[in-house]
Structure 1
């Protein structure tokens, strides 16, 4: 699982943006959620990510049990999150449905709100 190459989401995302208004897209590559998500958040806003909503894979839980620091897990492995779509609330259900139709398993992990931090993991 750890050696699985980075997944490419181009076809899925191109189909998604044909059907829905999307405000931001973030591919979780090197640096993970902590470094990649803030790059698409405008000044004056922040992403509030609810860690309890993220479906952490067993391999990542195991690595933390072995002593890998949680901040390293978020920065290196993204805790299994591969791509983040940012959209208005009224687009959420349609986006989820479209992504499911495209074979994905999307779920909401947070909200965008006023703030200065770029990202807040809770």
Structure 2
């Protein structure tokens, strides 16, 4: 499932998450009414919150995020992931499928010790280190 149609409420000044599809984003303002009714309110726009929102997409869902961006501990400035950064395709097929379904860019890490470098925001394979 995608996140299309899921409302995400973030702190003012927030940007849109990469690879999350199109969704209405509301920036929190203290003058906003708390009277909005939804079926499900999810606290946190990290991977777990976003997966939960995608799974519940047939309901009226809002995701509440305190930070100015979505992704939780996953942060990829200049193309390098600083969060949950490793998975092995033969063993972590569910992670690979979830990444694909949510539109999250990834580079599969192999078990043979192959190294990567980042230049100009692009990951480059260096071969075995």
Bigger helix share: 1
Question: Do these two structures clear the TM 0.5 threshold for a shared fold by scoring above it?
Answer: no
* TM-score of Structure 1 vs Structure 2, range by shorter chain: under 0.3
Bigger strand share: 2
Q: Highest CA radius of gyration, 1 or 2?
A: 2
Tell me the TM-score normalised to structure 1 length. 0.25
Tell me the TM-score normalised to structure 2 length. 0.24
